[in-house]
Structure 1
Amino acid sequence: MEYNIFTKKELLEIFPFGETKLNKLLNTGVLPVVKVGRDYTTNQERLNQWFKKMKVNRFFINFKAVYNRIIK
């Protein structure tokens, strides 16, 4: 079984917003991540479950709407 593990740096490449907004999502516990030392990690399965929970289509994602619904 293969696991796709993503670090914070890789999450920055996935999500189309900057490090400050990503840090807010990570620090508030919104994204399904595990803190390992000073870094955060997650895997593809957990991200897919999060997308489904948030009712976000992975192929057409309105991240601004998701971000505003969660953070603000």
Structure 2
Amino acid sequence: MNKTINPDDFRAYSVLEISQMLGVGKTKTREMLDSGILPVTKIGRQYFTSPTSIQDFLKKNIGKELFF
């Protein structure tokens, strides 16, 4: 199922969906989520964010190398 994601759609996203927004694997995404570096709100086991927030994070870190 290939659904279109609204860039301003702030809602719960799975680790897989967040990894696809970032363009990295699920393991690396989990490491980044656990570190608290990503712009997400965690409630229970769910991560709330938006594609715009993820893109803003990537733009803010242009030229930086992030290690995990």
Which stretches in structure 1 are left out of the alignment for 5+ residues? 57-65
**Partner residue, 1:3:** 8
CA distance in 1, matches of 2:59, 2:24: 20
- For residue 66 of structure 2, give the secondary structure of its aligned residue in structure 1: helix
- Percent identity (aligned): 27
| CA distance in structure 1 between the partners assigned to 2:18 and 2:38 by the alignment | 10
Q: Which structure 2 segments of 5+ residues have no match? A: 1-6
Q: Which runs of 4+ in 1 moved over 4 A?
A: none
TM-score relative to the length of structure 2: 0.64
Specify the alignment match of 2:66 in structure 1.
70
CA RMSD across the alignment: 2.4
- Alignment map for 1:38-53 (pairs within 5 Å): 38-53=45-60
Q: Give the TM-score normalised by structure 1.
A: 0.61
Would you say the 8 A contact 1:30–1:70 is kept in 2?
Answer: no
Question: Greater helix percent: which structure?
Answer: 1
Distance in 2, Cα, partners of 1:40 & 1:23: 11
Number of equivalent positions? 60
Relative to 1, partners in 2 of residues 1:49 and 1:14: Cα closer, same or farther, differing over 3 Å?
A: closer
Letter in 1 for 2:66: I
Contact 1:25–1:71 (8 Å) recurs in 2: no
